[in-house]
Amino acid sequence: NAGVTQTPKFQVLKTGQSMTLQCAQDMNHNSMYWYRQDPGMGLRLIYYSASEGTTDKGEVPNGYNVSRLNKREFSLRLESAAPSQTSVYFCASSPARQGRGYTFGSGTRLTVV
């Protein structure tokens, strides 16, 4: 089925380790996003990419980097993981910059110990 695919689904990291969360969409959407969801906090935007080759910071970008590798793929990197980055991460895409009709992936549950 068409949609947004995130890998991995689960990950445990030690403090200071690095990792990259992968996201790919096959809907030919221009815009892609990374959100994190924490208990009682809703979803908060980390970074977004309005089109291939462009990325911008969202509400909570500190400690993260992103790469829009091509139109399909948008990765999120944690260079030095911290316990505060324990969260569920969602990637999303939308056809237009205005963010309407987001399609979300199923999430990556990350625990930093």
In the numeric block, the tokens 């995130």 are attached to 6
Is 72 a binding residue for another protein by CB under 8 A? The answer is no
Helix, strand, or coil (residue 52): coil
Query: Is 105 exposed, middle or buried, given 0-12, 13-18 or 19+ CB atoms closer than 10 A?
Result: buried
- Residue 44: CB minimum distance to another protein, A: 7
- Which member of 45, 72, 73, 75 binds another protein (CB under 8 A)? 45
Q: Which residues contact 82 (CB under 8 A, 6 or more apart)?
A: 15, 63, 112
Stretch that binds another protein, among 11-19, 43-51, 61-69, 73-81 (CB under 8 A): 43-51
81-110 residues in contact with another protein (CB under 8 A) are 90, 92, 97-107
